Amino acid sequence: MSRIAVIGGGIAGTTAAVELAQAGNKVTLIEKTDSLGGNIKEYGCKAVDKCIKCNLCLVDETIIAAQNSPEIEIIYQGRVNDLTGKPGNYNLTVEKDGDFVNLEKIESIVLATGFVKWSDLESGTPEFSDDKRVIWASQLEELMRNRSDHGNPENILGFDAKPGSVAFIQCNGSRSIQEKARYCSKICCGYSFRMARVLKHFYPELEATIFFIDLQEAGYFLDVNFSELDKAGINYVNCKPIDVSKTDDQIRILYENQQESAMEARDFDLLVLSEGLHPNSDNERWSMLFNLQLDAYGFLYPLVDEEETGIFLAGSIKGPRDIAATISDGKKTAYRLLKQKQLCESGGWEDV
């Protein structure tokens, strides 16, 4: 029996796999690690007194559905090495534990291998990598993921010292030629706002400041206006800091006060660096293996219509997306594939 192969067990690939399986298709989901979820499994819930739509709940539901579906075969720690055949009848060679598995009669392929965080790159290191007062957004995520709401009420997130002030620097790993990422990663504005809200909830006296270039109307921020930002008690400074240095007790940020046309310096107990989304290092290999094109930044797009080749791209392999947009794109990709499958079954692949 023919089947559909999904390469990448992050939220885009898992979503596509579940949608395809629920439509009655046999699906083989190939994941390079030992668990599903991709980058998303490292995220922590942003809910405080109420849900603020971080969409992590949807991720958990999708992963469980994939693991429990009788129509989905999951190959963990698998690496796709080769592709042969033609549209409607592909063969994939997958390496697992030093052995090679041949997957035959693959009628379509969904490629959804996601992104890498700025901090995962060799060039993406904090200026003071050994200073616990300077952390990546992903490190703050880890604290949120492991938080104990019934633990120490004075320090639920488990900082070494309870912070009195925190600064977020946006566009770190994005909007920069030097960082090979002139594009906007789209997720950071709403993402930092959510995390600042969580910190303010657990530490009500905390002074939170977000340094930004401009606020992108993407993802969560499509439904947020400035009055809501004011109500949250978060300070917004419209500039990217010029310099970051250490004092004996705090982190000092030097920036231009654009309203006053003057340089200013402010000290903070904690500095959180946002993390832009970068193309996966495997994208060049995928471009050669599946006859795809790399854009100027290293993300992928098809050279030929996906309906013609039967090889579909899903999620942030095509460019930065937040959780909601990634889930949506995974579903959209599955629906397009199903529509193409119906056309092929009614008229034959070559006639489409």
Q: How far apart are CA 315 and CA 333, in angstroms?
A: 9
pLDDT at 173 over 70: yes
Q: How far apart are the first and last CA of the chain?
A: 22
% of the chain beyond a pLDDT of 90: 49
- Angle, CA 23 vertex, CA 20 and CA 24 arms, to 5°: 100
pLDDT bin (cut points 50, 70, 90) of residue 53 is low
Nearest to 50, CA basis, from 221, 201, 190, 191: 201
pLDDT in tens, 301-341: 999 999 999 999 999 999 999 888 899 999 999 999 999 88
Query: Would you state the pLDDT for residue 150?
Result: 47
Strand residues in the chain grouped as ranges (E): 3-7, 27-31, 72-76, 78-86, 89-96, 99-111, 115-117, 134-136, 165-169, 207-212, 234-238, 243-246, 251-257, 262-268, 270-273, 277-279, 292-294, 300-302, 311-313
Residue 272 pLDDT grade (very low, low, confident, very high; cuts 50, 70, 90) = very high
Better-predicted residue by pLDDT, 161 or 198? 198
pLDDT at 352: 36
- Average pLDDT rounded to a whole number, residues 254-263: 84
Please count the other Cβ atoms lying within 10 Å of the Cβ belonging to residue 281: 12
CATH architecture type of domain 3-114+280-351: 3-Layer(bba) Sandwich (3.50)
Looking at 88-92, 101-105, 180-184, 332-336, which range is the least confident one?
A: 180-184
Model confidence at 174: pLDDT above 50 = yes
Across the chain, how many H-helices and E-strands are there? 8, 19
List the chain domain ranges.
Answer: 3-114+280-351, 117-277
Q: Is the per-residue pLDDT at 128 higher than 80? A: no
Same topology for domains 3-114+280-351 and 117-277, yes or no?
yes
Q: So what's the pLDDT on residue 198? A: 84
pLDDT digits (tens, 9 = 90+) for 129-157: 677 888 888 888 887 777 655 455 556 66
Cβ within 8 Å of residue 328, ≥6 positions away: none
| pLDDT, position 298 | 94
Using the predicted structure, report yes or no on whether residue 180 has a pLDDT greater than 80. Answer: no
The answer on pLDDT for 4 being more than 60 is: yes
Q: How confident is the model at residue 127 (pLDDT cuts 50, 70, 90)?
A: low
Residue-wise pLDDT for 207-247, tens only, equals 999 998 877 655 555 555 556 666 778 898 888 888 888 88
Question: CATH for 117-277, among 3.90.1150.10, 3.40.30.10, 3.50.50.60, 2.102.10.10?
Answer: 3.50.50.60
Model pTM?
0.88
Residue 346 has pLDDT above 60, yes or no: yes
Distance CA 251, CA 262 (A): 20
Q: Is the pLDDT of residue 72 over 60?
A: yes
